[in-house]
Chains A and B, each alone.
Chain A
Amino acid sequence: MLGLAAEENVLRIHIDELVFGLIAFALIFGLVYKYAVPRITKMLDERADSIEGGIERAKNAEAEAEELRQQYKEKLEEAHRSYAAELQKAGEQRAAIIAEAKEEAQVEARRIIEAAHAQIEADRQQALQQLRTEIGALSTDLATRIVGETLSDSAAQSRVIDRFLDELEQGATAQQQAEVR
């Protein structure tokens, strides 16, 4: 022992020091209880809340995005469907237009052909008529030149002409019938 105040036992409990210790602890406890812990726990709770709120918000946003995506998908499918329908309709229309045009063209063609036939017939008739008169005159003229003055009496003359014309006509009818056929 070094002669300080070492007469006492090491395991002493001094009342004054005990009381001071308790007072100091009471001060610290009061500070912790009233000041530090409420503030810290409040902040921890707030942080936990905000983190949880953030997660919640993210979840909501995700759900919303998913819904939107679904909507877009549906719209896209609908567009595809309507496009296909339009395409089919257009194809049908096209076919209808083509058929109509074809029919019209055929009708037109037939009409033109008929008109042409009629024209041709009329021309032929006219040409025949003209030919008959010309041929009569021509053959009379020819026969007059060939026979001369011998066939000048009118009775014989008209007889010969008629017979000639009949023959001619028969030949022309046969020819026409072959042409039509």
Chain B
Amino acid sequence: MSADTLNLAAEGGGGLFTPGGPGFEAPSVGIFFPSPWADYNLPYTGGFNKYVVLLLVATALVALFLWWTARRQSVVPGRSQGIGELTFLFVRDQISRPMMGVKGDKYMPLLLSLFLFVFAMNVMGLIPFLQLPVTSNLSYPAGLAAIVYITFIVVGIRAQGGVAKYFKGAVVPSGAPWWILPILVPIEIISNFLIRPATHAIRVFATMFAGHLLLATFAAAGWYMFNPAAGPLFGTISVLFSGASLLAFIVFTAFELVIMFLQAFVFTLLAALYIGQAQEAH
């Protein structure tokens, strides 16, 4: 839930059991369109809004994390170095190695930065008073997906030794009979070069979007139902309802943290998978 939602809920606050009071208004997608503080008045721009600020915070967090964990290096690791190595080894052993093998180690910087960046942007949805995952704006995951898209095409062209060779290998499935190719080739083109980057970006976006909407709904509902002024009986009931909503909010916040981590993991994993597939000979 963003500050906007809180304000909105507060304006109509305490609606439950109030005769003639405002009905419950669930938070809409409007919470993902914060008003910009400075607008460029250009087409297809969002202006300087909350997302940009959160992006800066996320970037600063990742940079701080990197500096803090890689600052001192010794053979016997200290606490901060241990955390850095844990992250590095997690990305290498759980993402890079299973997908690409040892030859994928040269893409570790890309994968590590993708993982950290996506995770930091996701986690922005849990930081108090900020509480808006940067990835719930499609612009940011789309940029990262575009980077991965370009990377795996370039890697594929290099690995296969030629543009035509790579696209032929990627589009024409080997071992298919010739008469099925007219159907198969368009499907492969669409799935490999159109749907793949689109879903890569939208997956993170959609999960963060939905999760944040869910949390906002619980927060708004909890605020809406908090109405102790509605008499002794109804007041108690409304407070109990509100408490249940708050509990659900907390539980789902913890659940969201897991989802955020998982989505960052899946995003990086798919990036590694695509690069690994392009690297292999078809």
When chains A and B are docked, how far (Å) is the Cα of A42 from the Cα of B40? 45
B73 touches A43 (CB 8 A): yes
Check: A14 CB closer than 8 A to any chain B CB: yes
Check: A47 CB closer than 8 A to any chain B CB: yes
When chains A and B are docked, how far (Å) is the Cα of A2 from the Cα of B85? 46
| Interface SS of A by simple majority | helix
Of all chain B residues, the one with the shortest Cβ separation from A16 is B45
Residues of A within 8 A of B81 (CB): 43
Per-position contact with B for A73-99: 1 when CB-CB < 8 Å, else 0?
A: 000000000000000000000000000
Check: A72 CB closer than 8 A to any chain B CB: no
Known contacts being A25-B144, A25-B147, A39-B70, is A16 close to B75, with CB within 8 Å? no
Check: A44 CB closer than 8 A to any chain B CB: yes
Residues of A within 8 A of B28 (CB): 1-2, 6
When chains A and B are docked, how far (Å) is the Cα of A123 from the Cα of B51? 150
Of all chain A residues, the one with the shortest Cβ separation from B105 is A41
Per-position contact with B for A15-30: 1 when CB-CB < 8 Å, else 0?
A: 1111111101101110
A40 touches B85 (CB 8 A): yes
When chains A and B are docked, how far (Å) is the Cα of A3 from the Cα of B28? 10
When chains A and B are docked, how far (Å) is the Cα of A44 from the Cα of B139? 36
Of all chain B residues, the one with the shortest Cβ separation from A40 is B88
Check: A8 CB closer than 8 A to any chain B CB: yes
- In B101-158, the 8 Å CB interface with A consists of 108-110, 112-114, 116-117, 137-140, 142-144, 147
Known contacts being A36-B112, A37-B108, A42-B73, is A18 close to B32, with CB within 8 Å? no
Known contacts being A32-B112, A36-B69, is A4 close to B33, with CB within 8 Å? yes
When chains A and B are docked, how far (Å) is the Cα of A47 from the Cα of B75? 6
B44 touches A28 (CB 8 A): no
Check: B34 CB closer than 8 A to any chain A CB: yes
Per-position contact with A for B60-85: 1 when CB-CB < 8 Å, else 0?
A: 00110011011001110100010011
Interchain CB contact (< 8 A) of A10 among B143, B144, B209: B209
Give the Cβ gap from A45 to chain B, nearest Cβ, in Å.
11
User: Can you list 22 residue pairs at the A/B interface with Cβ under 8 Å?
Assistant: A1-B30, A2-B28, A4-B34, A8-B33, A10-B138, A12-B44, A12-B139, A14-B137, A17-B139, A21-B139, A22-B147, A24-B59, A25-B143, A25-B147, A28-B59, A28-B62, A28-B66, A29-B110, A32-B113, A36-B84, A36-B88, A44-B85
- Which A residues have a C-beta under 8 Å from some C-beta of B? 1-6, 8, 10-22, 24-25, 27-29, 31-33, 35-37, 39-44, 46-47, 50
